Amino acid sequence: MEKIYQPNKIEPLVQTNWDNKKTFMVTEDFHRKKYYCLSMLPYPSGNLHMGHVRNYTIGDVISRYQRLLGKNVLQPIGWDAFGLPAEHAAILNHTPPSIWTYSNICTMKTQLKSLGFAYDWSRELITCQPEYYRWEQWFFTILYQKGLVYKKKSLVNWCPKDQTVLANEQVINNCCWRCNTKIQYKCIPQWFIKITKYADQLLYDLDILTDWPQQVKTMQRNWIGRSNGLEISFKILNSNNVVTIYTTRPDTIMGATYIAISIEHPLSKNIINNNNFLNYNFKNSQIYQTNQYKNLITETQGINTGMYAIHPLNHNILPIWISNYVSIKYGTGAIMGVPAHNQEDWRFANKYNLPMQSVILDINNKKPKVDTHAMVYKGTLFNSGEFNKLNHQVACEKITKKLINQGIAKHKVCYRIQDWCISRQRYWGVPIPMIILKNGNIVSVPSNQLPVVLPENITTNNVFNPLKSDDWIHTIYKNSPASRESDTFDTFMESSWYYARYTCPNYTSGMLSSQAVNYWLPIDQYIGGIEHATMHLIYFRFYHKLMRDIGLVNSVEPAKRLLCQGMVLSDAFYYINKNNEQIWVSPLHVTVKYDKKGHIIQAIDDDGNHLTHLGMVKMSKSKKNGINPDIMIKKYGADTVRLFIMFAAPVNMPLEWKETNIMGVHRFLKRLWRLVYEHINNGPVETLNINILNNQQTILRRKVHKTILKVTDDIDRRHMFNTAIASIMKLINHLISVPKKNQQDRALLHESLLSIIRMLYPFTPHITFVLWQALGAEGDIDHSTWPIGDKTALIERTKTIIIQINGKTRDTIDVVNNTPEHTIYDLVSQKDSTALKYLRNKKIIKTIYIQNKIINFITEKK
């Protein structure tokens, strides 16, 4: 063993050892408990960032820990290789997206390897390979046959920058999730998967997921947005038609003063088509562009249709309006306007001077004031005839019953979630395996003609998309000319089922091998960012249920336990240049002065600019505060980086990247190395005999086993890796200070080191690999077992007895529990007892002994 810890020397050697021995390659073993640990797969953007490093370190720590528990651990990795950045980069560099993608994969793979992650590399998946997406296409055709897929011309979100449509989940605050460009709406034919058919299952099965973060489950519940309401039909005056509205507040019906319908409501269409004036108004208003979704519009607009509806209870005549705040995609696309009690309606009625009628008392049981806003409290009814004085609940029930009895209402459940739009008008994706026949009918590509392979090695530009060219589109189906679908799948499709394919990546007889997939699934631990709560994590659960219903998997949910790691933050600095622009400077080029409390008081960059310190913020390219993992690994080694990441904060909390703290962690590993080095240099050790340990040794052993039990509980149950590491560090610091004189001291140190090294293995697998060998332990540490805390070592075996002479404390003595009085007397009589000198030449006339506590010798008075 070398005297000095040199991570850059040992880490590559250990990694080569793992590669050569294929240490982390696994297969199904029905005699062993399996553990499937998965971190969300990376997009091959070019370089690993610290967010990736944190995500994958957490996964690796959990995997290695489970491994030492004796489980058959699967930890795979792959690449989410389709997507727009590749196209952008390809356009910029005039190279095909595939070249850019594969070269990034190569770089990032080297980075992952340098961090020593225990992946089964034989299962690596690259989603842009036909062997992978062939099954995605096949699955889509099956869904089509089952009626779970349809093509529909519909108003969809359009990102003008990325030149593609987006699913609703991918629109955040009205902007594209990827490039933050404000979205527009377009009416084009698109493919959809019927996720709404699974809305209830996706909602109710959240209750099974007891080990998922509450926050994610709440976000999913809100996203699904199940609403229990009533459909009510209002007669149209002078017509045989009705207009059916959707409401969740039937108790407010007596306050309805108008009806509003969506622009795309069949009734609006008639009106608009038949009325030149309205048609003109409609086309020139902003309504059409903004009407997409409940609550998304910025300005409410309306057109009075001139038609009226009849209120079913008070028979009032209510005007029918067309408005953009009513969405065709929700409820029935029509509402009853209750401006006194619904803020949206209030805004509309206020703008168009429609009457307001309050019918619900406020929280103080007073008539509400509605001149500045609606009163939305669900209080007692008034102005409502036979329903006056009823509370919200009872009023809803009674009014519902009455309307149902009249035959004009029925219960209805609505969802906020919409069907998943999966068509993308981009080149670098999985071709949608569909064919449009001459007669307009659509058929799926027969399974024996799959995969429909995307032409690679093509240099595109923003205008030229090879899939839109005649070459691609023209095809033959059953000897007749036909057209290929030229859109590609949303790339979230690839990441919706990759976790299942990892269990049988090379299976060629079908999408999934049932033996492999049902052995490994569900995932025991899934790890990824919270930003996926309502995108990937919904699609992934949905896909699992689809696969189950097609008989491909047995389980109900894909992942038992979910962990969302916190962000990685670092200091961000900027200055304002002559042109009044904000210029960000990387922390690596900043010299900082701190006050005594560690606050930054001055920051200057390499060019002498005085900088403003924004604080600790999420590492990002735009703020130039990202830290390159490669530089850190080179400087301190992968083990230090990994240990720091796990030590600096609880896994679900933000992590502050501070180099001074990394240095501290690095020094700790050096101390551990030295401790082992010195111990080995002191020669061979005897076997430990716990029956002959002295008091101090017993106490030390108790400390070691107490730490094992605590670290196990911290990692296993609490997922508090940072406190686990703190306990290990404390123990090592203690071991450095204890005596190493006699053989049992050294035997005990040896036992302690073997336990500590195994506890550190998940965090720092390289150094522990080497130290394990240096200590002469059997086999590679990768095949050892997690140390077991010996609970009997925790039992206090000794007691300190106070020795008094005539009531005065003169000494103490450590004895084994429940030592009898005469033995204590013998011990005190031994020559080296301090108490002895007080007893010399004195006659003991009485002894008072309280077992395990105190002994008092009363002597004869002279």
Written as one string, the DSSP assignment of 419-471 is -EE-EE--SSSPBP-EEE-TTS-EEEPPGGG---PPP-S----SS--GGGSHH
Q: Which of 78, 312, 331, 431 binds ligand ANZ (CB under 6 A)?
A: 331
Partners of 233 in the beta sheet?
A: 244
> Which span sits near ligand ANZ by CB under 6 A: 158-166, 244-252, 271-279, 432-440?
244-252
Return the residue of 101, 327, 570, 755 that touches ligand ANZ, per CB under 6 A. 327
Query: Nearer to ligand ANZ by C-beta: 225 or 664?
Result: 225
For residues 362 and 376, the answer to whether their CB atoms sit within 8 Å is no
Q: Is 78 in the site for ligand ANZ (CB under 6 A)?
A: no
Q: In what order do the strands lie in the sheet with 34-39?
A: 72-74, 34-39, 525-529, 562-565
Contact 332, 231 (CB under 8 A): yes
CA dist 3 → 653, 673, 676, 736 (Å): 37, 8, 10, 16
Cβ at position 338, least distance to ligand ANZ in Å? 4
Give the residue, chosen from 54, 71, 217, 249, that forms a contact with ligand ANZ under the rule CB under 6 A.
249
Kindly state whether residue 326 participates in binding ligand ANZ, applying the rule CB under 6 A: yes
Distance of CA 141 to the CA centre of its chain: 30
| Beta-bridge partner residues of 259 | 320, 336
Reduced DSSP (H G I as helix, E B as strand, rest coil) percent helix, strand, coil of the chain, to 5: 40, 20, 40
State the CB neighbour count (10 A cutoff) for residue 207.
Answer: 8
Counting contacts by CB under 6 A, is residue 710 touching ligand ANZ? no
Considering only 247-255, 466-474, 485-493, 726-734, which stretch makes contact with ligand ANZ by CB under 6 A? 247-255
Instruction: Verify binding: residue 804, ligand ANZ, rule CB under 6 A.
Output: no
Query: CA-to-CA distance for 775 and 761, rounded, in angstroms?
Result: 14
Helix (H) or strand (E) holding 859: strand 854-859
Nearer to ligand ANZ, 290 or 525 (CB): 290
Q: Which stretch binds ligand ANZ (CB under 6 A): 336-344, 388-396, 581-589, 832-840?
A: 336-344
| 752 scored as a contact of ligand ANZ (CB under 6 A) | no
Q: Which stretch binds ligand ANZ (CB under 6 A): 83-91, 328-336, 598-606, 721-729?
A: 328-336
Query: What binding mask, one character per residue, do residues 412-431 give for ligand ANZ by CB under 6 A, x or -?
Result: --x-----------------
Torsion of CA 17, 19, 24, 28, to 10 degrees: -130
Choose between 157 and 764: whose C-beta lies nearer to ligand ANZ: 157
Q: Tell whether residue 722 is a contact of ligand ANZ (CB under 6 A).
A: no
Q: Are strands 562-565 and 525-529 parallel, antiparallel or unpaired?
A: parallel
Beta carbon nearer to ligand ANZ, 413 or 848: 413
Residue 560 lies near ligand ANZ (rule: CB under 6 A): no
SS3 655: strand
Number of residues that bind ligand ANZ (CB under 6 A): 20
CA distance 547 to 540: 11
Among positions 319, 333, 451, 505, the unique one binding ligand ANZ when judged by CB under 6 A: 333
Residues 6+ apart with CB under 8 A from 783: none
Pick from 294, 392, 613, 658: which binds ligand ANZ (CB under 6 A)? 294
DSSP reduced 3-state for 610: strand
In angstroms, give the least distance from the CB of 411 to ligand ANZ: 13
Q: Which of 98, 114, 190, 247 binds ligand ANZ (CB under 6 A)?
A: 247
230: contact with ligand ANZ by CB under 6 A: no
Q: Which of 227, 281, 833, 851 touches ligand ANZ by CB under 6 A? A: 227
What is the Cα gyration radius of the chain? Answer: 36
Task: Name the residue whose CB lies closest to ligand ANZ.
Answer: 227
Check residue 287 for interaction with ligand ANZ (CB under 6 A): no
User: Which is closer to ligand ANZ, CB of 66 or CB of 358?
Assistant: 358
Contact 272, 287 (CB under 8 A): no
Of 156-164, 320-328, 759-767, 826-834, which segment contacts ligand ANZ by CB under 6 A? 320-328
* 246 near ligand ANZ, rule: CB under 6 A: yes
- 586 in contact with ligand ANZ (CB under 6 A): no
Among 26, 58, 338, 590, binds ligand ANZ (CB under 6 A): 338
Determine if residue 776 is left, alpha or beta; phi over 0 gives left, psi from -120 to 50 gives alpha, anything else beta: left
The yes or no reply on residue 51 touching ligand ANZ (CB under 6 A) is: no
Q: Using CA atoms, how far apart are residues 50 and 568, in angstroms rounded to an integer? A: 7
Sole window of 246-254, 563-571, 572-580, 724-732 interacting with ligand ANZ (rule: CB under 6 A): 246-254
Residues in the chain: 862
Task: Let me know if 713 is exposed, middle or buried by CB neighbors in 10 A (0-12, 13-18, 19+).
Answer: middle
Q: Among 341, 642, 666, 710, indicate the residue that binds ligand ANZ (CB under 6 A).
A: 341
Q: Is 349 in the site for ligand ANZ (CB under 6 A)?
A: no
Angle value at C-alpha 596, between 594 and 599, nearest 5 degrees:
45
CB-CB contact of 686 with 744 (8 Å): yes
Is there binding between residue 265 and ligand ANZ (CB under 6 A)?
no
- Judged by CB under 6 A, which stretch of 178-186, 329-337, 595-603, 745-753 contacts ligand ANZ? 329-337
Q: How far is the CB of 421 from ligand ANZ (least distance, A)?
A: 19
Residue from the set 170, 292, 300, 342 that interacts with ligand ANZ by CB under 6 A: 342
Shortest CB 175 distance to ligand ANZ, Å:
22
Token pair belonging to 158:
């359009």
Alpha-carbon distance 592 to 546, whole Å?
55
Token pair for 206 = 């959240």
810 binds ligand ANZ (CB under 6 A): no
Q: What are phi and psi of 400, to 5 degrees?
A: -60, -45
Binding-site string for ligand ANZ from residue 385 to residue 414, where x marks contact by CB under 6 A and - marks none: -----------------------------x
| Contact region with ligand ANZ (CB under 6 A), list: 191-199, 325-333, 453-461, 772-780 | 325-333
Tokens read off for 516:
């492999």
Shortest Å, Cβ 261 to ligand ANZ: 9
Rounded to a whole number of angstroms, the minimum distance from the CB of residue 634 to ligand ANZ is 54
Q: Which stretch binds ligand ANZ (CB under 6 A): 210-218, 331-339, 434-442, 754-762?
A: 331-339
The residue (of 222 and 591) whose beta carbon lies closer to ligand ANZ is 222
- Binding ligand ANZ by CB under 6 A: which of 73, 90, 243, 335? 335
Which DSSP helix (H) or strand (E) runs through 260?
strand 258-261
- DSSP label of 534: T
Of the residues 129, 241, 248, 275, which one makes contact with ligand ANZ according to CB under 6 A: 248
Best CA proximity match to 53, nearest among 666, 568, 523, 562: 568
Q: Is 224 helix (H, G, I), strand (E, B) or coil?
A: helix
Tokens of 746: 């050294």
Among the listed ranges 57-65, 324-332, 419-427, 438-446, the one in contact with ligand ANZ (CB under 6 A) is 324-332
- Selected range binding ligand ANZ among 338-346, 710-718, 745-753, 778-786, rule: CB under 6 A: 338-346
Can you tell me which residue has the tokens 């149209």?
236
Instruction: Among 75, 104, 252, 503, indicate the residue that binds ligand ANZ (CB under 6 A).
Output: 252
Residue 370 near residue 346 (C-beta atoms within 8 A): yes
Buried b (16+ CB within 10 A) or exposed e, 413-422: ebbbbbbbbb
For residues 251 and 396, the answer to whether their CB atoms sit within 8 Å is: yes
**Tokens 């562009």 correspond to what residue?**
289
- Binding residues for ligand ANZ, rule: CB under 6 A, are 227, 229, 246-249, 252, 294, 325-327, 330-331, 333, 335-336, 338, 341-342, 414
